[in-house]
Amino acid sequence: MNRRKLHPLMQLAGWLVMLFLIGPVVIVLGTSVSDTTYLAFPPKGLTLRWFENVFAQDSFLSTFAISMQVAAGGTLLALVLGLAAAYALARYRTTIPAWYGSVFFLPFFIPEIVFGFSLLKTLIVLFELPVMPSLILGHAILCLPYMVRVIGASLASFDFSIKEAAVSLGMHPVRAFWTIVLPNIRSGMIAGVVLAFITSLNDMAVALFLTGPGISTLPIEVFTYVEQFFDPTVSAVSVLLMAVTTIVMILIERSLGLSKTIK
Amino acid sequence: MADHAVTLDNVVAHYGRTQVLHGLNLSVGEGELVSLLGASGCGKTTTLRLLAGFIQPTSGAITVAGRDITDLPPHKRDAGIVFQNYALFPHLTVADNVGFGLKQRRVPVAEREARVKAMLARVGLADYADRLPAALSGGQRQRVALARALVIDPPLLMFDEPLSNLDAKLRIDMRVEIRELQRANRRTAIYVTHDQEEAFSISDRVAIMHAGRIVQLDTPEVLYTRPVNAFVARFVGFDNLLPMTVIARDGDAVTVETVGGTLLTLSLGMTGPLPDRFLVGARPEGLEIVSAGPETIPGKTHTRSYLGRAYQYKVDTALGVLTANAPLAHDHGQDSAVGLRLNFEHCCILPYEEN
Give which of A169, A177, A180 to mutate to test B binding, by max B Cβ within 10 Å. A169
Comparing CB atoms, the residue among A162, A168, A263 nearest residue B89 is: A162
Name the minimum distance, in Å, from the CA of B127 to any CA of chain A.
Answer: 23
Of B84, B82, B83, B109, the closest CA to residue B96 belongs to B109
DSSP letter assigned to residue A212:
B
Strand locations in A147-213 (E): none
pLDDT per residue over B152-209, tens digit each?
989 899 999 988 888 888 888 888 988 988 888 888 999 999 999 999 999 999 999 9
CA A252 to CA A219: how far, in whole Å?
A: 22
pLDDT per residue over B268-306, tens digit each?
988 888 999 999 999 999 999 988 888 999 999 988 888
Q: Which residues of B touch A186 (CB under 8 A)?
A: none
- Judgement on whether residues B217 and B84 belong to the same structural domain of the protein: yes
- Judgement on whether residues B184 and B283 belong to the same structural domain of the protein: no
Comparing CB atoms, the residue among B75, B77, B84 nearest residue A171 is: B75
Whether A260 shows a pLDDT value over 60: the answer reads no
Neighbours of A95 (CB within 10 A): 8
- Judgement on whether residues B141 and B164 belong to the same structural domain of the protein: yes
pLDDT of residue A152: 93
Q: How confident is the model at residue A39 (pLDDT cuts 50, 70, 90)?
A: confident
Q: What angle do CA B344, B347, B350 make, to 5 degrees?
A: 120
pLDDT of residue A249: 80
CA B94 to CA A135: how far, in whole Å?
A: 47
DSSP letter assigned to residue B105:
T
Considering only alpha carbons, which residue of chain B is nearest residue A262? B91
Q: Which residues of B touch A162 (CB under 8 A)?
A: 87-90
Sheet holding B287-290, edge to edge: B287-290, B337-342, B297-306, B310-317, B320-327
Whether B109 shows a pLDDT value over 90: the answer reads yes
Name the minimum distance, in Å, from the CA of B119 to any CA of chain A.
Answer: 16
Q: Which residues of A touch B83 (CB under 8 A)?
A: 161, 164-165
> Could you tell me the sign of the dihedral formed by the alpha carbons of A186, A190, A195, A199, in that order?
positive
Mean pLDDT of B27-37: 93
**Kind of pairing between the strands at B156-160 and B79-82:** parallel
In A, what residues contact B, Cβ < 8 A? Answer: 95, 159, 161-162, 164-173, 176, 180, 183-184, 263
Q: What is the mean pLDDT of chain A?
A: 88
pLDDT per residue over A143-175, tens digit each?
999 999 999 999 998 989 999 999 999 999 999
Instruction: Say what percent of chain B tops pLDDT 90.
Output: 68
CATH second-level architecture of A49-261?
A: Orthogonal Bundle (1.10)
| Cβ of residue B259 closer than 8 Å to a chain A Cβ | no
Mean pLDDT of B33-37: 95
The total of structural domains in chain B comes to 2
pLDDT per residue over A185-221, tens digit each?
988 998 899 899 989 988 888 998 988 777 889 999 8
DSSP letter assigned to residue B135:
G
- Judgement on whether residues B126 and B216 belong to the same structural domain of the protein: yes
Q: How confident is the model at residue A6 (pLDDT cuts 50, 70, 90)?
A: confident
B271: CATH: 2.40.50.140
Range of the domain at B288: 238-351
Of B289, B305, B302, B284, the closest CA to residue B242 belongs to B284
Domain final residue pick, B211, B234, B257: B234
What ipTM was estimated for this complex?
0.81
Q: How confident is the model at residue A3 (pLDDT cuts 50, 70, 90)?
A: low
- Judgement on whether residues B86 and B104 belong to the same structural domain of the protein: yes
- Judgement on whether residues B79 and B211 belong to the same structural domain of the protein: yes
B263 CB-near residues (< 8 Å, 6+ apart): B247, B255, B256, B257
CA B309 to CA B287: how far, in whole Å?
A: 16
Identify whether the C-beta of residue B147 lies closer than 8 Å to the C-beta of residue B98. yes
pLDDT of residue B2: 46
Considering only alpha carbons, which residue of chain B is nearest residue A96? B16
Domain final residue pick, B234, B255, B273: B234
Alpha-carbon torsion angle B322, B328, B333, B336, nearest 10:
-50
- Judgement on whether residues B199 and B317 belong to the same structural domain of the protein: no
Domain final residue pick, B177, B212, B234: B234
CA B71 to CA A26: how far, in whole Å?
A: 65
Give which of A94, A157, A168, A187 to mutate to test B binding, by max B Cβ within 10 Å. A168
**What's the pTM value of the predicted model, to 2 decimals?**
0.78
Q: How confident is the model at residue A102 (pLDDT cuts 50, 70, 90)?
A: confident
Q: Do A159 and B85 touch (CB under 8 A)?
A: yes
Identify whether the C-beta of residue A107 lies closer than 8 Å to the C-beta of residue A118. no
Query: Which of the two residues, A5 and B321, has the higher pLDDT score?
Result: B321
CA B119 to CA B137: how far, in whole Å?
A: 18
Mean pLDDT of A47-53: 90
A19 CB-near residues (< 8 Å, 6+ apart): none
Q: What is the largest CA-CA distance in chain A?
A: 70
pLDDT of residue A263: 37
- Judgement on whether residues B127 and B260 belong to the same structural domain of the protein: no
Comparing CB atoms, the residue among A168, A173, A184 nearest residue B52 is: A168
Q: How confident is the model at residue A257 (pLDDT cuts 50, 70, 90)?
A: low
Q: Do A164 and B81 touch (CB under 8 A)?
A: yes
Considering only alpha carbons, which residue of chain B is nearest residue A170? B75
Q: How confident is the model at residue B355 (pLDDT cuts 50, 70, 90)?
A: low
B98: CATH: 3.40.50.300
- Judgement on whether residues B40 and B82 belong to the same structural domain of the protein: yes
- Judgement on whether residues B222 and B130 belong to the same structural domain of the protein: yes
Mean pLDDT of B83-106: 93
Q: Do B80 and A168 touch (CB under 8 A)?
A: yes
Considering only alpha carbons, which residue of chain B is nearest residue A164? B54
CA A229 to CA A212: how far, in whole Å?
A: 22
Give bridge partners of residue B193 from the DSSP assignment. Answer: B37
pLDDT of residue A2: 55
Mean pLDDT of A115-133: 89
Whether B353 shows a pLDDT value over 90: the answer reads no
Give which of B54, B91, B132 to mutate to test A binding, by max A Cβ within 10 Å. B91
